């Protein structure tokens, strides 16, 4: 069966942040890569993961997380670009660590490849025109 990838944001209630919940995703034949994590004992925690597995197993894993009281958000897009504000200056491409933001060498216009995005937020902070915003303000 074909493997797919999903970027998901998880919000943990304070009483769940010290539980080994994410590691249980391996029981659903999922692999995961933690892209970002803000976890402190006694506080609401946020983790952003890239999950890999079949669609069916990803659904089972996300159902498990929700049953554990975790708020799950699937990022079908990771940054919002306001194209009308973009000056195509390229500043964001120089801070993007993954090559998700590049300049088209023919048109000199900015291009975005969501599959490569690591949700690091560097581009949001680097843009002088405020033409990029995080998909979800809780993640950057
Ligand atoms: S830094 Fe902002 S204005 Fe410059 S290319 Fe990137 S999105 Fe466009
Ligand atoms: S969030 Fe990070 S990886 Fe994604 S486009 Fe912006 S700089 Fe690149």
Tell me: the pLDDT tens digits for 64-79? Answer: 999 999 999 888 766 7
Domain with CATH 3.30.70.20 in the chain: 79-134
Confidence at residue 140, expressed as pLDDT on a 0 to 100 scale: 46
Quote the ligand 2 centre to 69 CA distance (angstroms): 29
Two structure tokens written together for 88: 């195509």
Quote the ligand 1 centre to 47 CA distance (angstroms): 27
Mean pLDDT of the 5-31 span: 89
Distance CA 2, CA 35 (A): 23
- H or E element in which residue 133 lies: strand 132-134
Give CATH for domain 79-134: 3.30.70.20
Q: pTM of the full predicted structure?
A: 0.72
Mean pLDDT of the chain: 88
Distance CA 93, CA 5 (A): 24
- The torsion defined by the Cα of 65, 138, 118 and 82, in degrees rounded to 10, comes to 130
Helices (H), 1-140: 55-67, 91-95, 122-126
- Ligand 2 pocket, residues with Cβ under 6 angstroms: 78-79, 95-98, 100-101, 117-123
Domain with CATH 3.30.70.260 in the chain: 4-74
pLDDT digit string, tens, across residues 34-65? 988 888 888 898 898 999 999 999 999 999 99
Q: Which class in CATH covers the domain with range 4-74?
A: alpha beta
């Amino acid at each position: 069966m074909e493997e797919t990838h999903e970027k998901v944001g998880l919000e943990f209630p304070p009483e769940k942040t010290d539980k080994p919940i994410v590691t249980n995703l391996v029981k659903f034949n999922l692999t995961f890569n933690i892209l970002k994590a803000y976890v402190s004992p006694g506080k609401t925690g946020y983790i952003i993961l890239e999950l890999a597995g079949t669609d069916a197993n990803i659904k089972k894993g996300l159902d498990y997380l929700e049953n554990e009281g975790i708020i799950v958000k699937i990022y079908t897009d990771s940054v919002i670009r306001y194209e009308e504000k973009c000056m195509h200056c390229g500043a964001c491409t120089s801070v993007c660590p993954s090559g998700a933001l590049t300049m088209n060498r023919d048109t000199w216009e900015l291009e975005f490849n969501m599959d490569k995005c690591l949700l690091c937020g560097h581009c949001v902070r680097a843009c002088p025109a405020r033409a990029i915003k995080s998909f979800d303000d809780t993640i950057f």
